[in-house]
Structure 1
Amino acid sequence: MDPFLLCAGLMKNPKSLLLMLWMMGSACIQVPDLEPGALPDAGSLDARPVSVNWLSPEAGSSTNGTLRVSVEVTGPSPDRVELLVDGTPVGLFSASHSLNWETWSLAEGPHVLAVRATRNSQVFTSPERTVTVDRTLPRMTSQTPANTASFVPAGTAIHATFSEPLLASSVSTQSIQLTVNSAPFSADVSLSGDGRALTISPRTPLPVDSQVAVTIDAAVTDLAGNRVEATSRDWRWMIPSYLLVGEPLLVGSMETSYIDQTSLRIGGDSRPVVAWAQRGSVHVKRWNGDAWEYLGGPLKSGATNNVWDSALQIDTEGRPLVAWIEYFESSINQFHARRWNGTAWESLGTFLNSSLSGGRIDWMDFSSGTQQAPVVAWEERNGSQHQFVLRQWDGSTWVEKALPLPVPRAGNVYSPGFDLDAAGRPVFTFGANDAQGAAVGHVVRWNGSTWQDISEGLEGFPTARVFHPDGSLLVGVTARVEGRWRPLVKRWNGSAWLAVGGPVDSDFSTHGRALNGIVVDAQGLPMALLTEVHTQPGTSSTVGQVRQWTGDRWEDVSGVLRPAPGMWKQGLPSLALSADRAPVIAWLEGTDPALANSVSAVHVHRVNQ
Structure 2
Amino acid sequence: MDSFLLSRGPMKNLSSILLAMLLMPAACIQVPDLEPGTAPDSGSPDTRPILLTWLSPTSDSSTNGALQVQVEVVGPVPDRVELLVDGAPVTTLDAPYSLTWETWRVSEGTHVLVVRALRNEQVFLSAERTVVVDRTRPWMIAQVPAISASDVAVRTPIEATFSEPLDGASVNGQSIQLVAEDRRLDASILLSGDGRTLTLNPTSPLPVNQRIEVVMADTVVDFAGNRLESTRPAWVWSVPAYLQWGAPQTFGKIEESTAVETSLRVGSDARPVVAWTQNGTVRAKRWAGEDWEYLGAPMSGATGSDIWGNALQLDPEGRPMLAWLEYTTGSQNQIHVRRWNGTAWEPMGTFMTTSLAQGYIPWMGFSSGVRALPVVAWRERNTTQEQVVFRQWSGSNWVSMAAPVPMKSSTTINYMGFDLDVSGRPVLTFSETEWGKAAVGRVMQWTGTAWADLSAGLGLLPMTRVVDDAGRVLVGGSGWGDGVRAGLIKQWDGTTWVTVGKPLADIAGGMDPGVDAMALDSLGSLVVLASEAPSATETASRIGQTQRWTGTQWEPLGGILKPSPGSLLWGLPDLALAGDNEPIVSWTEKVQSADTVIWAVHVYRPNH
Give the TM-score, by structure 2 length: 0.90
Q: Could you say which residue in structure 2 is the equivalent of 1:18? A: none
Secondary structure of the residue that 1:269 maps to in structure 2? Answer: coil
Q: Could you say which residue in structure 2 is the equivalent of 1:605? A: 604
Q: Could you say which residue in structure 2 is the equivalent of 1:546? A: 546
Q: Select between 357-366 and 235-244 the one with higher mean Cα deviation.
A: 235-244
Structure 1 residue 216 displacement after superposition: 1.7
Deviation readout 1:47-95 (Å, 9 max, x if unpaired): 4433221111111111111111122223343343321111222223343
Deviation readout 1:543-595 (Å, 9 max, x if unpaired): 22101112222121111222222222211111001111001111112313x86
Q: Could you say which residue in structure 1 is the equivalent of 2:26? A: none
Cα 1:38/1:399, change in 2 over 3 Å: closer
**Match status 1:488 vs 2:493:** no
Cα 1:33/1:438, change in 2 over 3 Å: closer
CA contact (8 A) 2:315 2:368 kept: no
**AA paired with 1:494?**
G
Q: Distance in 2 between matches of 1:40 and 1:335?
A: 121
Q: Could you say which residue in structure 2 is the equivalent of 1:24? A: none
Q: Could you say which residue in structure 2 is the equivalent of 1:238? A: 238
Cα 1:473/1:124, change in 2 over 3 Å: same
- Equivalence map 1:47-62=2 (5 Å): 47-62=47-62
Q: Could you say which residue in structure 2 is the equivalent of 1:38? A: 39
- Equivalence map 1:190-229=2 (5 Å): 190-229=190-229
Secondary structure of the residue that 1:260 maps to in structure 2? Answer: strand
CA contact (8 A) 1:50 1:117 kept: yes
Q: Distance in 2 between matches of 1:482 and 1:345?
A: 49
**Match status 1:454 vs 2:431:** no
CA contact (8 A) 1:386 1:410 kept: no
Cα 1:168/1:126, change in 2 over 3 Å: same
Q: Distance in 2 between matches of 1:507 and 1:290?
A: 32
Cα 1:383/1:130, change in 2 over 3 Å: same
Q: Could you say which residue in structure 2 is the equivalent of 1:422? A: 422
Secondary structure of the residue that 1:255 maps to in structure 2? Answer: helix
Q: Distance in 1 between matches of 2:540 and 2:127?
A: 71
**AA paired with 1:227?**
R
Structure 1 residue 224 displacement after superposition: 1.0
CA contact (8 A) 1:211 1:237 kept: yes
Structure 1 residue 148 displacement after superposition: 1.8
Structure 1 residue 304 displacement after superposition: 2.5
Q: Select between 363-372 and 410-419 the one with higher mean Cα deviation.
A: 363-372
Q: Could you say which residue in structure 2 is the equivalent of 1:581? A: 581
Structure 1 residue 181 displacement after superposition: 2.6
Q: Distance in 1 between matches of 2:234 and 2:539?
A: 24
Q: Distance in 2 between matches of 1:38 and 1:337?
A: 112
Q: Distance in 2 between matches of 1:487 and 1:354?
A: 35
Q: Distance in 1 between matches of 2:426 and 2:240?
A: 38
Q: Could you say which residue in structure 2 is the equivalent of 1:353? A: 353
**AA paired with 1:202?**
P
CA contact (8 A) 2:485 2:505 kept: no
Q: Could you say which residue in structure 1 is the equivalent of 2:315? A: 315
Q: Distance in 1 between matches of 2:34 and 2:359?
A: 128
Cα 1:156/1:432, change in 2 over 3 Å: same
Q: Could you say which residue in structure 1 is the equivalent of 2:91? A: 91
Q: Distance in 2 between matches of 1:426 and 1:91?
A: 98
Structure 1 residue 32 displacement after superposition: 8.0
Q: Distance in 2 between matches of 1:136 and 1:218?
A: 15
Secondary structure of the residue that 2:259 maps to in structure 1? Answer: coil
Q: Could you say which residue in structure 1 is the equivalent of 2:151? A: 151
Q: Distance in 2 between matches of 1:295 and 1:553?
A: 39
Deviation readout 1:386-444 (Å, 9 max, x if unpaired): 22211111122211221111224532111111111111221111111135332111112
Q: Could you say which residue in structure 2 is the equivalent of 1:373? A: 373
Structure 1 residue 332 displacement after superposition: 3.7
Q: Could you say which residue in structure 2 is the equivalent of 1:167? A: 167
Secondary structure of the residue that 1:247 maps to in structure 2? Answer: coil
Cα 1:121/1:373, change in 2 over 3 Å: same
CA contact (8 A) 1:188 1:203 kept: yes
Q: Could you say which residue in structure 2 is the equivalent of 1:293? A: 293
Cα 1:126/1:89, change in 2 over 3 Å: same
- Equivalence map 1:527-546=2 (5 Å): 527-535=527-535, 541-546=541-546
Cα 1:61/1:541, change in 2 over 3 Å: farther
Q: Distance in 2 between matches of 1:465 and 1:198?
A: 51
**Match status 1:565 vs 2:535:** no
Q: Could you say which residue in structure 2 is the equivalent of 1:23? A: none
Structure 1 residue 44 displacement after superposition: 6.0
Secondary structure of the residue that 2:589 maps to in structure 1? Answer: strand
**AA paired with 1:602?**
V
Q: Percent identity?
A: 48
Q: Which runs of 5+ in 1 are unaligned?
A: 9-29
Secondary structure of the residue that 1:343 maps to in structure 2? Answer: coil
- Equivalence map 1:393-432=2 (5 Å): 393-408=393-408, 410-432=410-432
Give the TM-score, by structure 1 length: 0.89
Structure 1 residue 341 displacement after superposition: 1.9
Q: Distance in 1 between matches of 2:379 and 2:198?
A: 61
Q: Distance in 2 between matches of 1:322 and 1:248?
A: 20
Q: Distance in 1 between matches of 2:595 and 2:363?
A: 25
Deviation readout 1:336-367 (Å, 9 max, x if unpaired): 11122222222222222212221111111112
Secondary structure of the residue that 1:584 maps to in structure 2? Answer: strand
**AA paired with 2:599?**
S
Q: Distance in 2 between matches of 1:140 and 1:597?
A: 36
Q: Could you say which residue in structure 2 is the equivalent of 1:249? A: 249
Q: Distance in 2 between matches of 1:371 and 1:355?
A: 26
CA contact (8 A) 2:412 2:434 kept: no
Q: Distance in 2 between matches of 1:63 and 1:96?
A: 23
Structure 1 residue 33 displacement after superposition: 8.5
Q: Which runs of 5+ in 2 are unaligned?
A: 1-5, 10-28
**AA paired with 2:350?**
T
CA contact (8 A) 2:259 2:276 kept: yes
Structure 1 residue 195 displacement after superposition: 0.9
CA root-mean-square deviation:
2.5
Q: Distance in 2 between matches of 1:485 and 1:92?
A: 88
Q: Distance in 1 between matches of 2:266 and 2:415?
A: 23
CA contact (8 A) 1:216 1:233 kept: no
Structure 1 residue 182 displacement after superposition: 4.8
Structure 1 residue 508 displacement after superposition: 7.3
Aligned length: 580
Q: Could you say which residue in structure 2 is the equivalent of 1:466? A: 466
Secondary structure of the residue that 1:530 maps to in structure 2? Answer: strand
- Equivalence map 1:3-18=2 (5 Å): none
Q: Distance in 2 between matches of 1:276 and 1:153?
A: 27
**Match status 1:65 vs 2:34:** no
Cα 1:231/1:545, change in 2 over 3 Å: farther
**AA paired with 1:38?**
A
Cα 1:278/1:468, change in 2 over 3 Å: same
**AA paired with 1:454?**
L
Secondary structure of the residue that 2:100 maps to in structure 1? Answer: strand
Structure 1 residue 465 displacement after superposition: 0.7
